[in-house]
Amino acid sequence: MLNGQKRLVIAIDGPSGAGKSSVARLLAERLGYLYIDTGAMYRAIGWKARRDGIDLSDEHGLTGLCSRTEVTIKRDNSDPRIYVDGVDVTGEIRTPEMGMMASAVSRSPAVRARLLTLQRELGRQGGVVMDGRDIGTVVFPNAEIKFYLDASPEERGLRRYRELRAKGMEVDLARITREIVERDEQDSKRALAPLKKADDALLIDSSVMSIEEVVGRMVTEIGRMS
């Protein structure tokens, strides 16, 4: 906890598989802050779009989907749970397919506008650690603390492979790594809020660092910068 100090908005951006969610969750616990996983919000919209059979190139259809869809985050002990229209979809959205769906729907102006409003409202009072791909550049460009967490594609693919295998899923390492590279391409080249490092963000390469080491580095930097 940052005793006696202003409750900050801490933005953590970076590509898929860099460890943002694990790091952000642990950092929030360490600071006594709320953890907000914005990527899960896009996965949730992607889940709803697939369930409703919405063509992801149909902006009118996605606009209607957003207007009738409620995405909420609830805390279950220290872990956030993601609900779509009151249904807990936390487990269902944590698949490579939903990751690609998230990347696809994030190109929609309607989806981004809907979730941008929600994300800013969640972080309005500060005291949040928010991770995603455009937190420090679009959602909270004036965030007090910004990090850009990265790792090599090979390391990110291996991490995702181990995560999914631990959940009992049959996955192929080469395919997982290829999908990560493809998503990097999609996210960095989209016209709307592309994935990029904010000019004032601190780059941390986690390729050879543990989660604890990354969080320790962040806590040190936060103490220095705040």
Could you tell me the residue ranges of all domains in the chain? 9-220
Q: What is the pLDDT of residue 192?
A: 82
* CA-closest candidate to residue 152, choices 192, 112, 207: 207
| Residue 215: other Cβ atoms inside 10 A | 22
CATH, domain 9-220, list 3.40.50.300, 2.60.40.1510, 3.30.420.40, 3.40.50.970: 3.40.50.300
Q: What is the pLDDT of residue 214?
A: 97
Q: What is the rounded distance in angstroms from the CA atom of residue 207 to the CA atom of residue 218?
A: 15
Q: What is the pLDDT of residue 5?
A: 67
Residue-level pLDDT, tens digit, the chain, 226 residues: 455 567 899 999 999 889 998 999 999 999 999 898 898 999 999 999 999 999 999 999 999 999 999 998 887 665 778 999 999 999 999 888 898 899 899 889 999 999 999 999 989 889 999 999 999 999 999 999 999 999 999 999 999 999 889 989 899 999 999 999 998 998 888 888 889 999 999 999 999 999 999 999 999 999 988 7
Run of H or E including 202: strand 202-205
Distances (CA, A) of 225 to 10, 123, 144, 177: 11, 19, 9, 35
Q: What letters, b where the CB count within 10 A reaches 16 and e where it falls short, cover 145-166?
A: bbbbbbbebebbbbbbbebbee
Q: What is the pLDDT of residue 75?
A: 73
